[in-house]
Structure 1
Amino acid sequence: MAGKRRQFGRVRKLPSGRYQARYVGPDGALRPAPDTFRTKREADDWLADVQTELRQGDWRDPDAAKVPFEKYASAWVAERPLAASTAELYEILVRVHLVPTFGRLTIADITPAAVRTWRRARLDAEVGLTTVAKAYSLLRTIMGTAVEDGLIRRNPCQIKNGGTVNTPERPTASVLDVFAIADASQPRYRALVLLGAFCALRWGELVGLRRRDIDLDEGVIRVRGSISELNSGKRIYKAPKSEAGKRSVAIPQSVLPTVVDHLRQFAESGADGRVFVGAKGATPRRNHFNGLWHKACAEVGVEGLRFHDLRHTGNTLASYTDANTRELMVRLGQSSTRAALIYQHGSRKREREIANGIDAMIVDALKRRPRSKGHGRGTTD
């Protein structure tokens, strides 16, 4: 009795003795299986799987995923509305850390094993943990888009916590250490140090301040944006990443006179005048200031403290005022939920109370001089 005629696809035996399976795709093109099969049964099973995919709407054009990773990744970065600093970071990660390994491979050829091998090689080459984590996260996101585009079925980036780095907790400075470093700094940067600590402002937010951003009557700083410096040296002013970044931060009363003196002596005139300018009239650059910072820290015997650690210091001080998590998020300009943004609009009174609490710690510490040497985990001597 004659066998039942095949309804989907064709199988033929090749001169080599192996079997080839082919079918007509939804686009009308004849699609051969990527490999030949040892038996006719294996070829039949493969065609049955393809037919199931077509019926369930899961079929993917096998040629679509043949695009080289370098081409796909470059287009991925170019098509997204990224901030200039983020676009620059992604371009570097793709060019330096991803393309050398995956550039010539097609999207379909990148496997979980290949990703694991790449990550291990990066770590063995003593590339920084943070850099490897950022490169892995970008790779995972790009390949996730390939899944959404229907090019591949599954993201090959399957390493648990591959995009996270467990960094050691940074030190906090004592109140007296902060004042000592500020006093040892150049006079034009004294207010910058104090505001970095006691208002927990970022470097970019500080150097981006204009006179109109400081309300001396209310004693608050209104953060509207920040200065970002690219690797090329170009600096750009950008708005905060989220609405929570736009915030009003109360200045402790003990710091306010320093701010007043600074505006009188060093800030540019006019509402749009820059609050912090260098000796030659330019916006301070981070790498130049770092040299001055390390010199001031060494002079007063504080070791291992970065300027950004002042922000951690400010957050720690604020937490000692019994500020709750949401209030700390508001003060720091961070948010992960919509509720945090809603709460921000009604928090001015509480923000002043937090600043007053920090001020009380400043006053208490200044009364108990002389200052102890070094920095510690706490906030007072």
Structure 2
Amino acid sequence: MTELSARRSPATVAECFRLLSAVLRSAVRDRLIGTNPCEGVKVPARRRKDTDGHVLSRADLVARLLPAVPDRYRALVALAGGTGLRWGECTGLRWESLDLTRKTVEVVRVAVEVAGTVTSKPYPKSRAGRRTVPVPDFAVELLTAHREVFPAGPRGEVFTNSSSGPLRRTLFRARVWRPSLVRAGLLGNVSRLGHFKWRAAWLDLDGVEWTAEFTTEREAVAHVAKMAPGGLRFHDLRHSYATELVSRGVPVNDVQGVMGHEKPSTTLNLYTHRSDGRDQRIREAFADDPLTPNDD
């Protein structure tokens, strides 16, 4: 376990441990071994990183990020940001599960990627994951346009790559997602210096600014996307969605339902974030309280 921890993330180690322990428990029940050697073993806890929990406001999603995403993938980003669906739930979505008239999406399957191969799984990660989620108007509009321009996949998939094949997460991140962040002004900076002259700028992990010059904007954007550390993750669209709902006063049990969580504590612990104006609202809640208690 220690050796694996040196090469893999705590979340990956925990999942490997869970699967191994389940296999060994079965072996104990079948009397193949006397005891489960996993019992009593502690796995490393997942530590929060500075890149965890980035929040993108709904205004920045619509006005900044979506216009910067290539046409083929704009509806995908809109769906994720407007419904909180996970990557696999978005890429595994088929048109039969979308009702653009009623403005709803049914999450009934997911796309699973292992070693570069994408397959479809008929059920989400948990029973609560099978759910119906309302789709906001801006996402409905982009999905409607997407259906008219881009053909469905061989099994009716809503989103495919340029070869009508399944989307692969790593390639999407490098070729679509991070360049879109740069163009949206959410990662580094690209500015025009003159004819055939573009300046790329980004900060490293120590806060030191680096710059480079290129003859095309595309080259400058690609360089920043590759070199700049951190930045918004695709999964942060899900985090932002839940945060937006909670900050607008949507009850936690309703947020839990659309997020596909089995427990409300998961919703509160993972996907909520300090919202703008929190301190002022708390002060206002006690603004009319008397300084001394009534004698009544």
Q: Which residue of 1 aligns with 2:214?
A: none
Q: Which residue of 2 aligns with 1:137?
A: 18
Q: Give, in whole Å, the separation in 2 of the partners of 1:379 and 1:198.
A: 19
* Cα distance, 1:121–1:225 mapped onto 2, change above 3 Å: closer
* Cα distance, 1:139–1:280 mapped onto 2, change above 3 Å: closer
Matched position secondary structure for 1:132 = helix
Question: Of residues 162, 186, 193 in structure 2, which corresponds to 1:279?
Answer: 162
Q: Which residue of 1 aligns with 2:245?
A: 318
Deviations 1:92-134 (A, max 9, x none): xxxxxxxxxxxxxxxxxxxxxxxxxxx34444x4543333333
Percent identity between the two aligned chains: 28
Deviations 1:6-36 (A, max 9, x none): xxxxxxxxxxxxxxxxxxxxxxxxxxxxxxx
Matched position secondary structure for 1:134 = helix
Question: Where in structure 2 are the equivalents of 1:86-165 lying within 5 Å?
Answer: 119-123=1-5, 125-150=6-31, 151-153=33-35, 155-160=37-42, 162=43, 164-165=45-46
Residues 108 and 130, structure 2, Cα contact 8 Å, conserved in 1: yes
* Cα distance, 1:140–1:281 mapped onto 2, change above 3 Å: closer
Provide the aligned C-alpha RMSD in A: 3.0
More strand by percentage: 2
Residues 196 and 203, structure 1, Cα contact 8 Å, conserved in 2: yes
Q: Give, in whole Å, the separation in 2 of the partners of 1:142 and 1:212.
A: 37
* Cα distance, 1:269–1:285 mapped onto 2, change above 3 Å: closer
Deviations 1:137-182 (A, max 9, x none): 334334434444453256553134x264233442111223322222
Q: Which residue of 1 aligns with 2:223?
A: none
Question: Of residues 175, 184, 194 in structure 1, which corresponds to 2:58?
Answer: 175
* Cα distance, 1:378–1:266 mapped onto 2, change above 3 Å: farther
Q: Which residue of 1 aligns with 2:225?
A: none
Q: Which residue of 2 aligns with 1:333?
A: 260
* Cα distance, 1:227–1:135 mapped onto 2, change above 3 Å: closer
* Cα distance, 1:278–1:142 mapped onto 2, change above 3 Å: closer
Q: Which residue of 1 aligns with 2:228?
A: none
Deviations 1:243-267 (A, max 9, x none): 3222111111233222222222224
Deviations 1:180-217 (A, max 9, x none): 22211111111111110110011121122222222122
Matched position secondary structure for 2:137 = coil
Q: Which residue of 2 aligns with 1:253?
A: 137
Deviations 1:229-287 (A, max 9, x none): 221524234322433222111111233222222222224399x6332122222232222
Residues 75 and 142, structure 2, Cα contact 8 Å, conserved in 1: yes
- TM-score between the two structures when normalised by the length of structure 2: 0.64
Question: Where in structure 2 are the equivalents of 1:1-381 lying within 5 Å?
Answer: 119-123=1-5, 125-150=6-31, 151-153=33-35, 155-160=37-42, 162=43, 164-168=45-49, 169-179=52-62, 180-268=64-152, 273-291=156-174, 292-303=176-187, 304-336=231-263
Q: Give, in whole Å, the separation in 1 of the partners of 2:113 and 2:57.
A: 29
Residues 107 and 130, structure 2, Cα contact 8 Å, conserved in 1: yes
* Cα distance, 1:377–1:281 mapped onto 2, change above 3 Å: farther
Q: Give unpaired runs (5+ residues) of structure 2.
A: 188-230, 265-272, 278-296
Q: Which residue of 2 aligns with 1:357?
A: none
Q: Give unpaired runs (5+ residues) of structure 1.
A: 1-118, 338-375
Amino acid at match of 1:306: R
Q: Give, in whole Å, the separation in 1 of the partners of 2:276 and 2:234.
A: 16
Residues 134 and 163, structure 1, Cα contact 8 Å, conserved in 2: no
Q: Give, in whole Å, the separation in 1 of the partners of 2:140 and 2:116.
A: 36
Amino acid at match of 2:129: G
The structure number with the bigger radius of gyration is 1
Deviations 1:283-331 (A, max 9, x none): 3222221121011112223241111111111111121232223212210
Matched position secondary structure for 2:117 = coil
